[in-house]
Amino acid sequence: ALPQSERIDLHLDERAAPLRDDYRVGFTYSDCFVDDARLVVLTARDAADRGAIVRTRCECQHAKREDNAWVLSLESHDTTETVRARTLINSCGPWVRSFLDRIGVPSRHNVRLVKGSHIVVPRLYEGDHAFLLQNTDDRVTFVIPFHDQFTLIGTTEVAVTDAHNPQCSDEEARYLCDAVNRYFRVPVTVDSILWSYAGVRPLFDDGSSKMSRVTRDYALELDVHGAPILTVFGGKLTTYRSLSEKAVDKLRPWLPEAGPTWTATAPLPGGDMSATQAASLGEELARAHSAVEPATLRALLRRHGSRAREILEACGGDLGAIRAGNLTDQEAAWLVEHEWAKTDEDLLWRRTKAGLSSLVRDPDGR
Ligand SMILES: Cc1cc2nc3c(=O)[nH]c(=O)nc-3n(C[C@H](O)[C@H](O)[C@H](O)COP(=O)(O)OP(=O)(O)OC[C@H]3O[C@@H](n4cnc5c(N)ncnc54)[C@H](O)[C@@H]3O)c2cc1C
């Protein structure tokens, strides 16, 4: 169980050391965290292990109903393929509504596109705790330890009309620095930003006038004028399993072979062990592969859990040269074979965050 929330005196609690003296009272709470990119790719890996066909870099160009089935036109690189399906789930995120419009399916719902940006700076403080800072505009800003040497600061809420290629603007970067500087002793400047990234939230449009008040809940809409199509409006990673089970429940009449729901406690690939077992696996692998750098082994365990053993055994413990950060040749080969990695960007920024190592500045700030 996670520890209970507490009220703390910020002048007495050493975790509050980075904060300015103006603040006296704080509250603590404990939560879990996840690496979102690993969660998504391991969910896809799990589906593939259970028989799903996963296609990355593949766009559904068009879909039409024909004889109680969907006929989809899929395009990847320069090949187009036609497939038939009994049911179709539209989970195109920011593009859910435009996809429905493209295939001519009417809908009562829409999404509000809200950009959120993050900045990454050199690590601001020691410890594995995060800060949640109250802003002057009713929003909160988080400050989170990020991959050992960095601190992640986010996020913003900016209404956008186009979800392609979102970027953190100068204004958003300044907003995030200001939010931190209201509380932290050592100021964060725009010059200290090493990396930034942005995404677009497809929030279910509940008609709220204020963006921070728009629901983070989701709606599932089923259209059965012919073969069924289920559309997912909104949602969160946090609730992805219950959302998916509800989606399957809605489609049960067309999927009679679907068994009872089972995902609530099922581990993802590599997650089939407790925290204690994970610690002993780490010790066991360190003993068996003493030539592997401890930091490389830690990264392998963090990304692959119990599958780290398979990766090490497959190469006889010789992980090869370091590509970047703590990514080795053999892990890269695993990511290509098992996790659909195709480009350097996939390897360095999506399947891992090994690319962050290129951002570390020397003491002169270069
Ligand atoms: C800044 C930000 C912060 C967030 N923070 C949190 C958080 O702290 N906790 C949390 O739980 N959630 C958070 N979320 C929300 C979370 O990221 C989303 O709920 C989640 O990504 C939704 O997943 P999805 O698969 O439905 O949609 P998406 O992740 O948007 O994926 C949709 C996919 O569909 C693809 N696609 C679109 N059209 C087509 C087509 N025609 N053919 C094939 N593919 C297509 C797109 O390329 C995309 O890959 C955050 C989101 C953002 C942007």
Structural domain boundaries in the chain = 6-31+112-204, 37-110+213-254, 275-359
Topology agreement, domain 6-31+112-204 and domain 37-110+213-254:
no
Q: What percent of the chain has pLDDT over 90?
A: 92
Which CA distances in Å does 335 have to 302, 310, 355? 14, 13, 15
What residue spans of the chain are helical by DSSP H?
36-49, 96-103, 170-181, 240-251, 275-288, 294-304, 307-314, 329-338, 344-345
Cβ neighbours around 112 below 10 Å, total: 19
Q: What pLDDT is stored for residue 366 in this prediction?
A: 52
| Domain spanning 37-110+213-254, CATH class | alpha beta
Q: If you search the block for the tokens 């209404």, which residue do you land on?
A: 159
Q: What pLDDT is stored for residue 189 in this prediction?
A: 97
Residues with CB under 6 A from ligand 1: 59-60, 91-95, 99, 116, 155, 199-201, 232, 235-238
> Are the CB atoms for 31 and 128 separated by under 8 Å?
no
Task: Find the 105 Cα to ligand 1 centroid distance in Å.
Answer: 21
Ligand 1, atom 13, lies closest to the CA of: 236
Tell me, what's the ipTM? 0.98
Task: Find the 202 Cα to ligand 1 centroid distance in Å.
Answer: 7
For residue range 117-126, what is the model confidence (pLDDT) as tens digits? 999 999 999 9
**Of 201, 218, 238, best ligand 1 pocket probe by most atoms within 8 Å of the beta carbon:** 201
The fold of the 6-31+112-204 domain, in CATH, is D-Amino Acid Oxidase; Chain A, domain 2 (3.30.9)
Ligand 1, atom 24, lies closest to the CA of: 93
**Of 33, 36, 102, 141, best ligand 1 pocket probe by most atoms within 8 Å of the beta carbon:** 36
For residue range 189-224, what is the model confidence (pLDDT) as tens digits? 999 999 999 999 999 888 776 766 777 789 999 999
- Phi, psi angles (nearest 5°) of residue 105: -105, 120
Which residues does the chain have with pLDDT short of 50? none
